[in-house]
């Protein structure tokens, strides 16, 4: 049987935290930052937890 490979995009984007949840980075902080307020950019820089309805798909991509 051949080896299964993880999705390299998912491998780069998601990390597991201690209690089994998955953390992700928030979007909208790559470009066009001059017109966004500092408060908004600061809040976008924090990590977020993946929603429970998406966990199954992400685990499938990471082969877990």
CATH of the domain at 49: 4.10.410.60
Q: Which helix (H) or strand (E) holds 22?
A: strand 22-25
Cα gap 15→13, rounded to integer Å: 7
Mean pLDDT for 46-51 is: 95
**Looking at the domain assignment, is residue 2 inside a domain?**
no
Domain that includes residue 50, residue range: 8-61
Mean pLDDT for 28-50 is: 96
pLDDT for residue 10 is more than 90: yes
pLDDT at 6: 93
Q: How many domains does the chain have?
A: 1
Q: What pTM was estimated for this model as a whole?
A: 0.77
Mean pLDDT for 14-32 is: 94
For residue 30, the 8-state DSSP code is S
Give the residue from 17, 6, 2, 12 showing the smallest Cα distance to 49.
17
pLDDT for residue 31 is more than 90: yes
Tokens of 18: 């201690």
C-alpha dihedral (15, 26, 50, 7), degrees to nearest 10: -50
């Amino acid at each position: 049987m051949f080896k299964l490979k993880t999705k390299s995009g998912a491998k780069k984007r998601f990390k597991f935290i201690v209690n089994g949840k998955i953390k992700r980075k928030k979007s909208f902080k790559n470009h066009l930052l001059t017109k966004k307020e500092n408060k908004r950019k600061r809040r976008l820089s924090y990590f977020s937890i993946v929603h429970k309805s998406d966990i199954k798909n992400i685990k499938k991509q990471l082969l877990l």
